[in-house]
């Protein structure tokens, strides 16, 4: 997936939603007919589940109107979902801007305990936690707040934690060309807490190591020790 590009509705989610037993197939024009032949408004699965492009807001409003009416709630505009998926409309180039600096520094840089909030693409419920980032510069460093901004870009999308971890690491690698990058994400998933197995204290840890931080055990050990202290 190219950095900064949008992501389509996950195929597994879309297929399950469109193949529910007992549901009539979609009618012409994307609408769906019920058992009495009455055409209902199209559902969420017929729209890209990302922040809307210019001109797409009415479609997103229609989708949420259908959902809210279906569960018996009063309809509202989808401003919350726009914010939660705003990462689709942002790119690494936009947020880094001129914040990459030439610096004669080749020791490890770590920013840890970056707050992260995202949405599970399979269940559309939150997962949240901390992100720890480390990199070994090769004469170039980035403004520290920009590392948190990179986390924000990729977490404000429909995500899975494994992909989120790797996307952050690859974005830093592409921007800085460092000797190595390490990213660790620790998160609690509401799809495991409020539904399913309902394990309140479970946490998921994922990591991506690139360059020397993957190849050199001592360097990797230094990073792991520093983020724990």
Query: Of 61, 89, 122, 186, which residue is the catalytic one?
Result: 122
Query: Of 9, 18, 123, 186, which residue is the catalytic one?
Result: 123
Q: Does residue 105 have an active-site annotation?
A: no
Reduced to 3 states (helix: H, G, I; strand: E, B; else coil), residue 16 is helix
Backbone conformation region of residue 176, classed left if phi is above 0, alpha if psi is from -120 to 50, else beta = alpha
Q: Does residue 122 have an active-site annotation?
A: yes
Q: Does residue 161 have an active-site annotation?
A: yes
The span from the CA of 151 to the CA of 92, in Å, is 10
Q: Does residue 9 have an active-site annotation?
A: no
Query: Of 82, 105, 120, 186, which residue is the catalytic one?
Result: 120
Q: Does residue 198 have an active-site annotation?
A: no
Q: Crossing angle for the helix pair 161-176 and 144-155, nearest 10 degrees?
A: 140
Query: Of 9, 82, 89, 121, which residue is the catalytic one?
Result: 121
The span from the CA of 141 to the CA of 158, in Å, is 29
The span from the CA of 162 to the CA of 185, in Å, is 9
The span from the CA of 190 to the CA of 60, in Å, is 24
Query: Of 9, 61, 89, 191, which residue is the catalytic one?
Result: 191
Query: Of 161, 167, 198, 215, which residue is the catalytic one?
Result: 161
Active site residues: 120-123, 161, 189, 191
């Amino acid at each position: 997936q190219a950095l900064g590009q949008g992501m389509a509705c996950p195929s597994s989610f879309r297929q399950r939603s469109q193949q529910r037993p007992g549901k009539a197939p979609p009618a012409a024009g994307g609408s769906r007919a019920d058992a009495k032949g009455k055409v209902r408004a199209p559902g969420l699965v017929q729209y890209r589940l990302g922040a809307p492009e210019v001109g797409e807001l009415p479609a997103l409003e229609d989708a949420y109107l259908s959902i809210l009416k279906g569960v018996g709630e009063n309809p509202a505009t989808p401003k919350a979902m726009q914010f939660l998926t705003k990462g689709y409309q942002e790119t690494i180039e936009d947020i880094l801007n001129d914040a990459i600096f030439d610096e004669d520094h080749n020791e490890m840089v770590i920013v840890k305990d970056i707050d992260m909030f995202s949405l599970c693409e399979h269940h559309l419920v939150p997962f949240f936690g901390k992100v720890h980032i480390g990199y070994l510069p090769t004469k170039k460093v980035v403004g520290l707040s920009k590392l948190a901004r990179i986390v924000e870009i990729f977490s404000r999308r429909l995500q899975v934690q494994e992909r989120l971890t790797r996307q952050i690491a690859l974005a830093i690698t592409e921007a800085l060309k460092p000797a190595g990058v390490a990213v660790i994400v620790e998160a609690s998933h509401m799809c495991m807490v409020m539904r399913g197995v309902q394990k309140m204290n479970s946490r998921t840890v994922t990591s991506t190591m690139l360059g020397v931080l993957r190849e050199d055990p001592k360097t990797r050990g230094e990073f792991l020790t520093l983020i724990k202290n």
